[in-house]
Structure 1
Amino acid sequence: MSENQNPNTSQDVTTSTGTAGHPERFSDPGVPEHRPRLTDTDPKANKRSERIIVLLFALSCLGAIASLVAYFTVRPDGTTDQTRLSTLLLGVTMAISLLGIGIAAIHWAKALMSDHEHVDERHELRSTPEVREVAVKHLTDGVEDSGIGRRGVLKGAAVSALALFPLTFAVPLISSVGGDWNISKFRHTIWTSGKRLAYDPTGRPIKAADLTVGSVAHVIPEESEEYMASHEWITEKAKAVVLLVRLNPEDIRSDQSPEGETWSYDGIVAYSKICTHVGCPVALYEQQTHHLLCPCHQSTFDMADGAKVVFGPANRPLPQLPIAVDDEGYLVAQDDFAEPVGPSYWERLK
């Protein structure tokens, strides 16, 4: 911009010509003529916009209150339907509260706040006292023009909406502080000595003779139909899922406990399906390399060498389920996993 040009005019300036006829400097188009809005010229329209904004903030308040009511009255009781209903109500009411604030703020800015354009010439890092005084005056004029000072109801509605919305997530967080903090449950699963391995999801027990070299099976503990229909089963199954693979026995380099006990049976090894990085299901098996891949972040484990990490962000092997065969030829667990399954937590850092 030319130093002597008035920024509020649209007159052209002389331009110099660069290579190939392209100008090196363009003329300043200036600031277009201000067009007043309907709310600037019609007091009724101004008041109508103010009422709409107040109603939007009020809707946000109602959404926040409804979210708190839904949180305390529709609590998950262990059933899928109740959990879905609680999640739906919390999501809808929080969305109404947040959208009310957002739409009201946008409408307020477009309809009531000052929309006059101001141009400040570029200057050194620190403006002169005169320029700073003008800038402060522009801000003061903008506040005065928006009518914030004389719109008490509007200010009250905005403050109420902004104050109530954080409660929609603060109350659930605070109320959960007194919840179940028994972390010992993370150390154990429902695998016990003698419990048969069964196919997931049918629950049919697995015989060692059913598996050929290279076979892969998704495994769960054998349980009664009544227990498998309960909500507790969903939680316990999530921790107990296992991937079973049959290898050539000579390919196995490590399948023993620290005490030297054998945890596999005739080349059949069983490891937790829960990745030790962030808990994704690990189920992509490559038969030639015996590598098991996590699809989330590409952590790779060697099934022939104690499921040790060979690539990726996981920092510890998959826990191994020690297995054996009972008198009827069915695969059974020797015991629970020797260490907690899944990613690390505050009392299980490695």
Structure 2
Amino acid sequence: MTENNRNHQTDPGAEGPDRVIGTPTSAEEDRVISGTTDEEAGHEGAYPAAETHTRPEEVQRKGERTASMWFTLAFLGGVGFLVSYFLFPPDAQGEPSIANPLVGQWANMLMGGTLTLSLFGIGAGMTVWARRVMPHYEVANDYDELPSAPEEKSSFSDFFMRSADESGFTKRPLMRRTLLLAMAPLGLAPIVLLRDTGPLPGNVLKHTLWERGMHMVVEGADREGEEGWIRADDLRAGGMISALPYVEPDPEHPHGLSLNDQAKTVILLIRMDESDFSDDMTREQRNWTHDGIVAYSKICTHVGCPAALYESGSHRILCPCHQSTFDASNGAKVVFGPAHRPLPMLPITVDEEGYLVADGDFSEPVGPTFWDAQRGN
């Protein structure tokens, strides 16, 4: 005991300016010291010596019952979360019916409320456990050599079991079992929520609408009929056109393609002298061109921005978002910037009337990664 604390004990009602929040008041110190003078003589720390290693059995049992009550509530909350999740499946959450337009809101409230109750119950139970059952004492060790001595290694199991016994985990079966019970539903929750990720995409993400014989139209132009199809003669040397596949319009998509399909199929048609193609281009890549015209995906392989800038003198394709630069004369390989993959190449040819058509799908998936988790339309 410091001299300052002993001075405070003379006034049972005064706590003094130096008293740390959570430490016993002066009156409590008087009470403890009067009964445990010898025990307190060499004691240091915020808690009285009488409470450092043991608490009255009545206090521990009450703490055990209270903590177990919170763990039981946490278990009921976890079960309620699972029940509410299956009671309102993902499809019902996003599609309220006329009879119950608030179905989505009720689903969110139930799942959020029950999950909150489960997490709060576990936290409250652990707090009661620590404050009412576990012993209170401070441990401090000087820094020693990192390797442990053989004696310390051999005594680790004894130290571990003594700590488990002091915590009450082994001595309080009711509290231990209710804690494990409360954790069980939360352990199942992540597995159940995997249902929301939907079915596996399979090979859908590796393919687009492009197929052999599909005509091309200028992006953003009127695409009705053959008048919008692109001829090989429409591109001059050094020219570049953004194009899309031509699909017959329907009531749902007046222009033939959904916005999602447009984003995945848009291409850059670039024409250059065939002598400008790099010697590093493979024979297969050269076969995918026609009369100096080459087609690349317009979607940057970095983060999916449109790589819409082209410099004909250097045959460089530039993405304005992060300055990734691709060499159009060499299979759209990356020459600068954060992108790591070339722009996928679309094999092209012409039909009997001289219109440019696709000769298959892209050489690899477009975009920075498998960015579309839908099953496709």
Query: By the TM > 0.5 criterion, same fold?
Result: yes
Alignment map for 1:300-311 (pairs within 5 Å): 300-311=325-336
Tell me which residue corresponds to 2:284.
Answer: 258
CA distance in 2, matches of 1:258, 1:217: 23
Q: What's the offset of the Cα at 1:155?
A: 3.1
Which amino acid is the alignment partner of residue 124 of structure 2? H
- AA in 1 matched with 2:47: E
Shift of 1:301: 1.9
Distance change in 2, residues 1:68/1:295 (3 Å)? farther
Tell me the distance in 2 between the aligned counterparts of 1:105 and 1:74.
30
Residues 237-276 of structure 1 aligned to structure 2 (within 5 Å): 237-245=262-270, 249=273, 252-253=276-277, 258=284, 263-264=289-290, 269-275=294-300
Aligned-partner residue type, residue 318 of structure 1: P
**Are residue 162 (structure 1) and residue 186 (structure 2) matched?**
yes
SS in structure 1 of the partner of residue 193 of structure 2 = helix
CA distance in 1, matches of 2:135, 2:165: 14
Task: Choose from 190, 196, 205 the match for 2:210.
Answer: 190
For structure 2, the 5+ residue unaligned runs are 4-43, 53-57, 96-101, 371-377
Return the match for 2:121 from 104, 108, 111.
104
Whether the 8 Å CA contact 1:281–1:294 is kept in 2: the answer is yes
2:47 equivalent in structure 1: 33
Alignment of 1:318 onto 2:373: no
Please tell me the root mean square deviation across aligned C-alpha atoms, in Å: 5.4
Equivalent pairs counted in the alignment come to 300
Cα offsets for 1:264-284 (capped at 9, x unmatched): 56x664311345x57834515
- Return the index of the structure with the highest Cα Rg: 2
How far did 1:263 drift?
2.5
Query: Could you tell me whether the CA contact under 8 Å between 1:195 and 1:333 is conserved in 2?
Result: yes
1:58 to 57, 76, 96: 76
Contact 2:66 2:125 in 1 (8 A): no
CA contact (8 A) 1:65 1:164 kept: no
Alpha-carbon spacing, 1:106–1:156, altered in 2? closer, same or farther (3 Å): closer
Structure 2 CA distance for aligned equivalents of residues 295 and 65 of structure 1: 49
Q: Is the 1:283–1:292 Cα contact (8 Å) retained in structure 2?
A: yes
User: 1:245-288 deviations in whole A, cap 9, x for unaligned?
Assistant: 4x6648842599639657356x664311345x578345153526
1:150–1:308: structure 2 CA closer, same or farther, 3 Å change rule? closer
Q: Secondary structure at the match of 1:116?
A: coil
Are the equivalent residues in 2 in contact too, given 1:54–1:158 (CA < 8 A)? yes
Alpha-carbon separation, structure 2, partners of 1:88 and 1:243: 45
Secondary structure, counterpart of 1:165 in structure 2: helix
Aligned equivalents of 1:212 and 1:143: distance in 2? 83
Deviation by residue 1:80-139 (Cα, 9 ceiling, x = unmatched): xxxxx9999999887667655543333222232337243153466246578974664343
Counterpart AA for 1:221 = P
The answer to whether the Cα contact below 8 Å between 2:334 and 2:342 also exists between their aligned partners in 1 is yes
The answer (yes or no) to whether the contact 1:94–1:168 under 8 Å persists in 2 is: no
Structure 1 unaligned regions, length at least 5 = 1-8, 12-29, 78-84, 346-350
Report the Cα distance in structure 1 between the residues aligned to 2:128 and 2:328, rounded to whole angstroms.
65
- SS of 1:310's partner is strand
The within-5 A match list for 1:1-350 is: 31-33=45-47, 50-71=68-89, 74=92, 99-113=116-130, 114=134, 116-122=136-142, 125-126=148-149, 128=152, 133=158, 136-143=161-168, 148-151=172-175, 154-155=178-179, 157-170=181-194, 176=199, 181=202, 183=203, 186-187=206-207, 189-193=209-213, 195-200=215-220, 203=223, 205=228, 217-226=241-250, 229=253, 233=258, 236-245=261-270, 249=273, 252-253=276-277, 258=284, 263-264=289-290, 269-275=294-300, 280-287=304-311, 289-293=314-318, 300-311=325-336, 314-316=340-342, 318-322=344-348, 332-337=356-361, 339-342=363-366
